[in-house]
């Protein structure tokens, strides 16, 4: 039996949970350990902490947060953000994190994925991919006036755009859409294709892919379902869909249309629009198998 995991994501800056829209408008959402305990009690299946702090000093703060969480929260949790070296990863895992997510460091040195996988076990090593849609190619066949960003209207919209293109005798939407990997918190384009990168990471021994759509992150427009599906269909390791959840329906879409193994969301939980328990009831009532929230 396959069950889908629901994962609240906590962006942590200097020891506090914050949430912003596309890395701006950050607001304080509380103490990470308290919030982690609350989500655990609500039935969260896992937690992800993303350390968005810049300074090395605050990195130590994150290690403390991890250690405190490990003393009180007995569900798996992943820590990402700023894991630059194998030593960073070691410190977090030793402090009690179950998994570390590598992003920029994996792109800079893919061997780090294998190296850490061998030392700690592949299941500890998550590769976080921040992906942004590439504008449709402007070749000889390109249509005048075509919107470059086909992702704005969700996966279904993207597919429709693709079908239009298909009528021109070109490939369908899924083959045509492509995404580029960004590093340094979304600031640095790498020229690497996101789907190919996911495949490579799986080959290097990553245990899981944490896939964030930069186009959707913080927009509350729903997951980039085409991106999610493209990666899910290309690798055999679990894929966590991230970026864009604004409604419970979006979670269902991520599991069904996107095919994700786990669903990550932040603001709908932090803002108390929905509890994790509500999200799970909604998923279950829409045919998605989840671990029921304890009542």
Partner 1 sequence: MIAVLDYGIGNLRSAEKALVHLGADARLVSDPEVAATATGVVMPGVGAFGPCAAALRRSGLGEVALDAIARGVPFFGICVGFQLLYEGSEEAPGVAGLGVLGGTVRSLPEGVKRPQMQWNRLCRRDGTDSALLAGLGDEPWVYFVHSFAPQITEDVVATCDYGGEVVAAAERGRVWGTQFHPEKSGTVGLAVLRNFVKAYSAEESTAAARRAWISSAQ
The residue ranges that bind partner 1 (CB under 8 A) are 1-5, 40, 45, 70-72, 74-76, 93-98, 118-124, 207-208, 236-238, 261, 291-292, 294
Give me the least distance between CB of 78 and partner 1, in Å please: 11
Contact assessment for residue 246 and residue 163, using Cβ atoms and an 8 Å cutoff = no
| Shortest spacing between CB 33 and partner 1, in angstroms | 13
Q: Which among 11, 51, 88, 217 is annotated as catalytic?
A: 11
Q: Return d(Cα 58, Cα 80) in angstroms, integer.
A: 14
Q: Which is nearer to partner 1, 208 or 221 (by Cβ)?
A: 208
Q: Which of 13, 45, 88, 130 is catalytic?
A: 130
Residue 186, classified by CB atoms within 10 Å of its CB into exposed (0-12), middle (13-18) or buried (19+), is middle
- Residue 93 or 248: the one with the smaller Cβ distance to partner 1 is 93
Could you tell me the smallest distance in angstroms from the CB atom of residue 173 to partner 1? 26
Q: Which is nearer to partner 1, 214 or 263 (CB)?
A: 263
Told to judge if 11 belongs to the known catalytic residues of this protein, a careful annotator would answer: yes
130 is catalytic: yes
CA distance 63 to 2: 33
By three-state DSSP, how is residue 214 classified?
Answer: coil
End-to-end CA separation in angstroms for the chain:
23
Residue 16 vs residues 31, 49, 56, 166: alpha-carbon distances, Å = 5, 11, 16, 48
Residue 3 CB, nearest approach to partner 1 (Å): 5
- Cβ proximity to partner 1: between 177 and 237 the closer is 237
Is the backbone of residue 163 left (phi > 0), alpha (psi -120 to 50) or beta?
alpha
Q: Which residues are catalytic?
A: 11, 130
């Amino acid at each position: 039996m396959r069950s889908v995991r629901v994962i609240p994501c906590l962006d942590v800056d200097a020891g506090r949970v914050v949430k912003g829209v596309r890395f701006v408008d950050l607001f304080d959402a509380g103490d990470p350990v308290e919030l982690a305990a609350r989500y655990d009690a609500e039935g969260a299946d896992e937690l992800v902490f993303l350390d968005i702090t810049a300074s090395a000093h605050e990195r130590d703060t994150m290690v403390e947060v991890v250690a405190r969480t490990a003393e009180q929260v007995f569900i798996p949790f992943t820590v990402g953000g700023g894991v630059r070296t194998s030593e960073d990863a070691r410190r977090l895992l030793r402090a009690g994190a179950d998994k570390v997510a590598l992003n920029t460091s994996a792109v800079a040195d893919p061997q780090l994925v294998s190296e850490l996988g061998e030392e700690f076990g592949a299941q500890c090593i998550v590769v976080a991919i921040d992906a942004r849609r590439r504008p449709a190619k402007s070749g000889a066949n390109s249509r005048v006036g075509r919107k470059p960003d086909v992702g704005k209207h969700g996966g279904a919209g993207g597919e429709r755009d693709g079908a239009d293109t298909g009528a021109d005798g070109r490939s369908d939407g899924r083959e045509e859409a492509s995404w580029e990997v960004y590093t340094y918190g979304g600031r640095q384009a790498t020229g690497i294709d996101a789907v190919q990168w996911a495949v490579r990471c799986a080959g290097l021994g990553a245990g899981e892919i944490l896939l964030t759509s930069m186009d959707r992150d913080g927009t509350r427009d729903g997951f980039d379902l085409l991106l999610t599906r493209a990666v899910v269909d290309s690798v055999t390791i679990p894929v966590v869909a991230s970026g864009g959840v604004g409604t419970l329906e979006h979670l269902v879409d991520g599991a069904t249309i996107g095919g994700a193994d786990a669903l990550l969301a932040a603001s709908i939980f932090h803002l108390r629009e929905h509890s994790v328990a509500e999200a799970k009831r909604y998923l279950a009532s829409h045919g998605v198998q989840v671990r029921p929230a304890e009542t």
